[in-house]
Structure 1
Amino acid sequence: MAAMAAGDEHAASEVLRGLARHLNCLNEDNKATRKRALEQIKRETVDKGLSSSVLQEVFSALLKPLLKCLSDPMERCRETAIAVITEFIRCVPKPEESLPYLMPCLAQRLGEKEILEPAEELRLSAVEMLTLTVETCGKHLAPYLSEMINILQRTIVDPFPDVKRESCKCTVKFAKCVPEHFHMQAESLVKPLMQTIAHQHSRVRVSVIETTGAVIQHGTGKNVDDVLSHLAQRLFDDSPQVRKAMTAVVGDWLLHMRDRYSYFHKLIPLLLSSINDEIPEIRLLATDLWRQVGAQWEKENEDDIKDKMDFLLTPPPFYPPGVERPGLGCRELVIRNLGRLVPAITHDVTDWLVPTRVRTSQLLSVLLLHAEDHSTQHLQPLLATLYRACTDSERDVVINCLAAAKLLGNFVPPAVFLKLLLDHVTTPYSSSHPWAPLMVLAAVLGGCSKPLLKPHLEQIANTLVQPDVCQEYQQVMYLEQLLACVDVLLHQCDSDCGSVSLQLLQVLVTVQGLSTDTNLSEKALESVQCLSKVQGLDSVMELYRQHMGQLLDWLSASVNTWSSYSPQRLQLHIIVIQSGPVIGEFVSQLMPLFRSCLQPDKDPEMRLSIFTMLAKLLLNAANTLDSQRHFHEESEKFLCDVLLPNLVWHAGRIAAAVRTSALSCLLALLHGGAITPGQLLCLEEKLRPKVLSALEEDSQMSRLLACRSIATILRLIGTSLHPESLNKIYPELLKRLDDSSEEVRGVALQALGLWLSSLTKDYNPALCAPHLQLLFQQLLLHLDDPDASVQDQVLEILKKSSSIHPALLRREVEAVRDKQRTPLHCDELLQHISSLPTETTDCPE
């Protein structure tokens, strides 16, 4: 051995003797000379393949001159010097002997506040050399902890991304080499790492996250709080590799960090958030790590959970289908930390950043799936969180929240969640979003099973039908959620809903009445059909028949307080329209309600809308109000007590509109056949003055409706009217021949034609000649009307009526023949009169 050592020493001396001139050249001023000298040194040493022991001797002798070259002004020289030193460190058997000289030099070169090495590539080579030093020297670097930390603090924030990455790599290796020393100064690396964690290069971010994991793992554990918020932001990183690295680091902490129990409540949300990542690889990684964490905790706390090991392994009844139940350790970890997790969820679910709100809402579902029935003790803050989240403008947040609410329905007993939820429904949690509790209620009910929900059906339905709940708000969103609550009951409880059928129908009627959205009204009608179907009823009509008496009692209870703003009038409209022929079975109950709300002292706008509705019903009376022929018994009273009082003139535009709607209703009553000619004849004396006065209305529509009503009355009972009654009608109709509306003029002419057709033998032409004369004179004026269609219509009327008093008509025609613009119509009429039988033309004077 001694001989071998002497031989190595001799060989090393020979090498150094050959390098003496090159070493001297390193001090030359000429840059090219220094460069050639370094290259020759490299060629004669590391490139020549010398034995390791010879290299060790040579390296010890060359180290100081080579380190001096690290500050050479020429970049090429510095590069070669770094390359030579790096090769020596890689090849020599005891590189640690170089540390007393190498580390201070590198600390000066790389660890100062200002970067002394201007070349990025050379800084990278120097840090790579440092990494190699860590790999080869290991624990021997412990005395140089301060130098290493100073260097890494600077190089981690180096402007060159590759230097940052290499520095991170070096940090991880160094932390693992000297863990018993590294922890003393580990926290000084946290700040530079956090400054770099958001770097624009994803590979840098990955390196920083992995390094942070090692620094915290081998540190004192006091800096977890300093890095958590930064790591949480990486949950939303665009790069899957960054999110994967973050997941791996947090999982490793949960498994191996010495003080992990103190940080479970902070680390668990980060790992569980990755379970919902969009990348399957990350989801699988997070799930696997979480399973390991749970199993490890279960093993470490086996004595504490022995009593739970057996009965907690069986899933609770009505567990969400198609969902794998988390392990006992995972569930216990969440349960024991839920009290500290819920406030954080509440805070983050309203964060100003959309991705944060989305991830938080996803996390909430994962936590509730683990907590199961233990979420009951946190129900109040959980509901408050859900109310806020379901008003989010981001659709994904709302969807995730409703999924979480459904899980509450799965695990929390209905008696418990209903006590809170129904109180919040009746007393809205937020004035700006009163529908939030309803939305959450619908979701929670959707998660509750039929057997558990059935005993509470009446309580839920009675709450929904309360006026403060179903009649207070008209926003589409509120009504949609009200409808959603009914729909979920129908879906969850189907035939059991028969016990609350009335209340649910009342809610659905209200939704349809208050809704201004056509789609919502159609959905509500579909729900009415579903309500009848789950009870085995043949149709919606049968459903209304089942409840009509109760519905009318429900409306009648408040009828004296109705106004144009009352939802009851809208509910009444839906009920009578949708029930079809069924309403005819309850006329005796319905009519007092109409009489009460249509009195002249009631709100005019309300009367206007109800008259409009009644007109539609009366036009089709045989299939609505009079389907059972019961309305005939009420029609006289309806005409006298309801319609006629509303035809009395009152000043004002709204009063005029009410009269118009009442006239429309009267016309519908006459046309629809809901009143018999006999009944009409009995009421003619009361009815005629009101209708005739309506001919003077300012409203064209009112005049038109009045004309049509008179025409219909004449058609129905004209031949039964007394001559005196008839003679009171035609003068008012004659006035309408000069109406500003062509339509009114046309209907007035038709009515006059019907009036003339109503004259029977009881009408004495001789005694009534003055009336006939006035009538003929006015008609003959319009025989010369500018409108040709009016001329033709008048001509036809006069021809048909010429047999009443031909002589009188002849005289009147002859008197005006020469005064008209054209005698053609007069001649035609005279010719018609001449063609009449003799006995007809010879009427007494």
Structure 2
Amino acid sequence: MCTCNNNITTVKMATMAAGDEHAAPEVLRGLARHLNCLNEDNKATRKRALELIKRDTVDRGLSSSVLQEVFSALLKPLLKCLSDPMERCRETAITMITEFIRCVPKPEESLPYLMPCLAHRLGEKELLEPAEELRLAAVEMLTLAVEVCGKHLAPYLTEMMHILQRTVVDPFPDVRRESCKCTIDFAKCVPEHFHMQAESLVKPLMQTISHQHHRVRVSAIQATGAVIQHGTGKNVDDVLSHLAQRLFDDSPQVRKAVAAVVGDWLLHMRDRYSYFHKLIPLLLSGINDEIPEIRLLSADLWKQVGAQWEKENEEEIKDKMDFLLTPPPFYPPGVERPGLGCRELVLRNLGRLVPAVAHDMTDWLVPTRVRTSQLLSVLLLHAEDHSTQHLQPLLAALYSACTDTERDVVSNCLAAAQLLGTFVPPVVLLKLLLDHVTAPYSSSHPWTPLMVLAAVLGGCSRALLQPHLENIGNTLSLPEVCQEYQQVVYLEQLLCCVDVLLRQCESDTGSVSLQLLQVLVAVQSLSTDGNSDERLLRPVTVQGLDSPMELYRQHMGQLLDWLSGSVNTWSSFSPQRLQLHVIVTQSGPVIGEFVCQLMPLLSSCLQPDRDPEMRMNIFTMLAKLLLDATNTLDSKGHFRDESEKFLSDVLLPNLVWRAGRTAAAIRTSALSCLLALLHGGAVTPGQVRALTPCVLSALEEDSEMSRLFACRSLSALLRLIGTNLHPEALNKIYPMLLKRLDDSSEEVRGVALRAVGLWLSCLTEDYNPEVWASHLQVLFQQLLLHLDDPDGSVQDQVLEILKSGSSVHPALLRKETEGVRDQQRSPLYCDQLLQHLSLLPAERPQ
């Protein structure tokens, strides 16, 4: 029966749809039973009734006028169904209401009933609609109502805001996105009313702007743009920090949305002039984005902002528009100059932008510091020479950034410093920078001004730098700059400054060649990387010299004067001592041309009352030089002229015995120097003869090394002047050597034995064996004693010495050998010696 009635109703409605003016009442009469069924307790009945109502209304091709009248009659029952316990009923009701709103000619007539109901269902603190898909459908219905009703929604501003405040933070991400879309549409529909309550949406949107889904974040940013754009403008500060955080979002779509919204604000927001200094950094940050699309969008929006500002302020900047269009000289190559409006916007807000940038450069988040350091370069490119008036805070920010552990931050800041060098007059910039170099901002990071200085110099042109070269060179070579700090990073930055100067000015650096060489020497003396030759090649090349030796020859006199000025205050910790070492060892034969100037300096350093450790170090240095004297100190033969004074005033006073281990160590160092002097040949025979007493005295030293050096020095003496010594002088030598044959050190014993052999070879015809027989007897007796040494190698060595010296007095040696033969543990060596003696003449010719 029910099915039959339904079919009849359907036929009737189809007939009415054809154009009967009484169609709407007939439709409603056909729906009366279904409407009654909506009040039944049985949920299946309610569901069936709603489906039939939907079939007989929205699913039919009814005219819009009929639908309007039917919708007015059905609205209240359908709205009541929005709270039906059955989800399917609620879904069908939402679908029907949505279709009615879309199709009826006057959907605004439903608002008095629709809006309070939606406000109740969606705007309460508790979720009255548990199904997230139905909440989404309801919000989509609300968005449709905004689109088709437009300004008619103005009276329902409060209801709309309550709904949006709740749905913008809905647990379902799609509801949030749809709510943001609805917010944008609503703001555009009723802008004259929206601003009164726009502020209430800021907090919910800021909760959504950091949602885990990037599409939700994009929607929230776009909605924020509309809320601020059509609001009172008082909430800009509340959203800026959140938008700034989205500049570092992993999603390019989110960053693109930020650029689009901020660009729109800069172009269209009513009170934008008040917020230029806060909005400009957000848009300019997008110019350095890693995604080309975002970079292009940001750059295009920024150009539009600049062009619009130019047009709005045409009268004010008319002179600049006519005369300041040519780029400044030495503009960075390959860089497009920003438009006048863009430059003026940055210039007029730079006083506020610089402190903000300096603050963000110290942020605890690495991405923030990196993006801010990139922004600094963009700002300076716009400000050009107008950044001069902000140099102090800019330099302070750069110094701080140079200490950052993130390499990208440092490199970006150095690029910004290079722009400062390009645009700011050197006379202004260098005055501040050089003052900071001599008195660093931070004692823990004294190298930061040097790092910034190197970057600034890299941005300066050769023509502008040339007048300031002397000032720069003099500053870098100051003791408190190039000698005060030993940190590796400080020395590296000092070298960077030198390298940049040489690269930028090339041959012009000849005027400060001495100062730069002083810096290089100072750095080499404090560093341990061993790249000294490479560092000297650059100044040699730019000045057209043949080798580093030529560079040293050009400035050696001045370098020695430089060191001599402070020599009286040197100690083992003085950097000047290390600088002296660098100069004399690197200059090779050149130092031999300046021995007359070097000797007073060495004499002052090596006086017995000076620092002991310093003296030992210098003696060690001299020993290395004197071993190769012909290629170093005596390359021109001048050292021989100074050697006597060197021996008497420097070397011998340090060989005088003094108590204590330190004094003994100094004597050892002096002996090593003496030995090198004797081997190097930079001493005359007369001077060598005067050294004999101090060498003999050194044979009694407690230090094994000293005794060893003394024995070797004595051997060198004997080689040089042994045959020219008077017999009495010779007779004073051998007893000291014989004592060393019993030395606790095997090495000393070996050297002493060889020295005894040399002593015997020095006996010429002037040495009468009969006259000095007693001396030879003592010598032979001691040697024969060691011929029975437990060490076989010593026995062999003694045997060879006795054989080679047997011709001095064969008879005496034979007698002494025969006298001890039977007393030794083995007569083998004595027999060999006697056999050798038997082949010699009985007596040595007189």
Deviation (angstroms), 1:414: 0.9
Tell me, yes or no, if structure 1 residue 782 matches structure 2 residue 790: no
8 Å CA contact retained: 2:16, 2:26: no
Tell me, yes or no, if structure 1 residue 220 matches structure 2 residue 232: yes
- Indicate the residue corresponding to 1:444 in structure 2: 456
Deviation (angstroms), 1:187: 0.9
Within-5 A mapping of 1:210-359:
210-359=222-371
Tell me, yes or no, if structure 1 residue 414 matches structure 2 residue 426: yes
Deviation (angstroms), 1:5: 11
Q: From the superposition, tell whether residues 8 and 680 of structure 1 become closer, same or farther in structure 2 (CA, over 3 Å).
A: farther
Deviation (angstroms), 1:611: 0.9
Q: From the superposition, tell whether residues 39 and 786 of structure 1 become closer, same or farther in structure 2 (CA, over 3 Å).
A: farther
Pick from 460, 476, 481 the counterpart of residue 469 of structure 1: 481
TM-score by length of 2: 0.96
Tell me, yes or no, if structure 1 residue 622 matches structure 2 residue 630: yes
8 Å CA contact retained: 2:810, 2:842: no
- Indicate the residue corresponding to 1:69 in structure 2: 81
Deviations 1:104-127 (A, max 9, x none): 000000001111111111111111
- Indicate the residue corresponding to 1:731 in structure 2: 735
Q: From the superposition, tell whether residues 8 and 511 of structure 1 become closer, same or farther in structure 2 (CA, over 3 Å).
A: farther
8 Å CA contact retained: 2:593, 2:636: yes
Tell me, yes or no, if structure 1 residue 659 matches structure 2 residue 667: yes
Three-state SS of the structure 1 residue aligned to 2:82 is: helix
- Indicate the residue corresponding to 1:532 in structure 2: 540
8 Å CA contact retained: 2:483, 2:575: yes
- Indicate the residue corresponding to 1:819 in structure 2: 823
- Indicate the residue corresponding to 2:5 in structure 1: none
- Indicate the residue corresponding to 1:575 in structure 2: 583
- Indicate the residue corresponding to 1:671 in structure 2: 679
- Indicate the residue corresponding to 2:750 in structure 1: 746
- Indicate the residue corresponding to 2:760 in structure 1: 756
8 Å CA contact retained: 1:8, 1:53: no
Deviation (angstroms), 1:692: 2.1
Partner Cα separation in structure 1 for residue 787 and residue 33 of structure 2: 140
Deviation (angstroms), 1:313: 0.6
> Match of 1:57, as an amino acid?
E
8 Å CA contact retained: 2:17, 2:62: no
Tell me, yes or no, if structure 1 residue 546 matches structure 2 residue 554: yes
Provide the alpha-carbon RMSD of the alignment.
1.7
Tell me, yes or no, if structure 1 residue 57 matches structure 2 residue 61: no
> Match of 2:608, as an amino acid?
P
Partner Cα separation in structure 1 for residue 787 and residue 137 of structure 2: 115
> Match of 2:259, as an amino acid?
T
8 Å CA contact retained: 1:508, 1:525: no
Deviation (angstroms), 1:198: 0.8
- Indicate the residue corresponding to 2:652 in structure 1: 644
Three-state SS of the structure 2 residue aligned to 1:313 is: coil
Task: State, as a whole percentage, how many aligned pairs show the same letter.
Answer: 84
- Indicate the residue corresponding to 2:517 in structure 1: 505
Which range moves more in the overlay, 185-194 or 781-790?
781-790
Partner Cα separation in structure 1 for residue 208 and residue 740 of structure 2: 91
8 Å CA contact retained: 1:8, 1:54: no
Tell me, yes or no, if structure 1 residue 101 matches structure 2 residue 113: yes
> Match of 1:106, as an amino acid?
L
> Match of 1:731, as an amino acid?
P
Partner Cα separation in structure 1 for residue 182 and residue 134 of structure 2: 16
8 Å CA contact retained: 1:26, 1:38: yes
Tell me, yes or no, if structure 1 residue 139 matches structure 2 residue 151: yes
Deviations 1:163-214 (A, max 9, x none): 1111111111111111111111111100000011111111111110011011
> Match of 2:672, as an amino acid?
S
- Indicate the residue corresponding to 2:190 in structure 1: 178
8 Å CA contact retained: 1:368, 1:407: yes
> Match of 2:837, as an amino acid?
I
Partner Cα separation in structure 2 for residue 500 and residue 616 of structure 1: 32
Which range moves more in the overlay, 642-651 or 155-164?
642-651
Deviation (angstroms), 1:7: 5.1
Deviation (angstroms), 1:509: 1.0
Deviation (angstroms), 1:759: 1.3
Deviations 1:296-323 (A, max 9, x none): 1111111111100122110011111111
Deviations 1:97-147 (A, max 9, x none): 111111100000000111111111111111111111111111111111110
Within-5 A mapping of 1:549-628:
549-628=557-636
Deviation (angstroms), 1:367: 0.4
8 Å CA contact retained: 1:9, 1:57: no
> Match of 1:243, as an amino acid?
R
Deviations 1:785-826 (A, max 9, x none): 232222211111111111112222223322332333332222
> Match of 1:444, as an amino acid?
V
> Match of 2:52, as an amino acid?
Q
Deviations 1:376-403 (A, max 9, x none): 1111111111111111111111111111
- Indicate the residue corresponding to 2:707 in structure 1: 703
Three-state SS of the structure 2 residue aligned to 1:236 is: coil
Three-state SS of the structure 1 residue aligned to 2:51 is: helix
Deviations 1:430-450 (A, max 9, x none): 111111111111111111111
Three-state SS of the structure 2 residue aligned to 1:137 is: helix
8 Å CA contact retained: 1:514, 1:567: yes
Deviation (angstroms), 1:8: 5.2
- Indicate the residue corresponding to 1:458 in structure 2: 470
Q: From the superposition, tell whether residues 15 and 698 of structure 1 become closer, same or farther in structure 2 (CA, over 3 Å).
A: farther
Partner Cα separation in structure 1 for residue 206 and residue 216 of structure 2: 12
8 Å CA contact retained: 1:618, 1:624: yes
- Indicate the residue corresponding to 1:720 in structure 2: 724
Partner Cα separation in structure 2 for residue 52 and residue 771 of structure 1: 146
Tell me, yes or no, if structure 1 residue 395 matches structure 2 residue 407: yes
Within-5 A mapping of 1:94-173:
94-173=106-185
> Match of 1:616, as an amino acid?
K
Three-state SS of the structure 2 residue aligned to 1:49 is: coil
Three-state SS of the structure 2 residue aligned to 1:668 is: helix
- Indicate the residue corresponding to 1:836 in structure 2: 840
Three-state SS of the structure 2 residue aligned to 1:738 is: coil
Deviation (angstroms), 1:667: 0.8
Within-5 A mapping of 1:81-96:
81-96=93-108
> Match of 1:760, as an amino acid?
T
Which range moves more in the overlay, 13-22 or 439-448?
13-22
Deviation (angstroms), 1:4: 10
Which range moves more in the overlay, 691-700 or 207-216?
691-700
Deviation (angstroms), 1:9: 5.1
Partner Cα separation in structure 2 for residue 44 and residue 474 of structure 1: 93
Pick from 471, 490, 510 the counterpart of residue 478 of structure 1: 490
- Indicate the residue corresponding to 1:793 in structure 2: 797
Deviation (angstroms), 1:542: 1.4
8 Å CA contact retained: 1:25, 1:34: yes
8 Å CA contact retained: 2:16, 2:23: no
Partner Cα separation in structure 1 for residue 539 and residue 315 of structure 2: 54
Partner Cα separation in structure 2 for residue 511 and residue 460 of structure 1: 17
Partner Cα separation in structure 1 for residue 824 and residue 65 of structure 2: 143
8 Å CA contact retained: 1:514, 1:570: yes
Deviation (angstroms), 1:596: 1.1
Unaligned runs of 5+ in 2: 1-14
8 Å CA contact retained: 2:147, 2:185: yes
8 Å CA contact retained: 1:463, 1:469: yes
Partner Cα separation in structure 2 for residue 614 and residue 170 of structure 1: 88
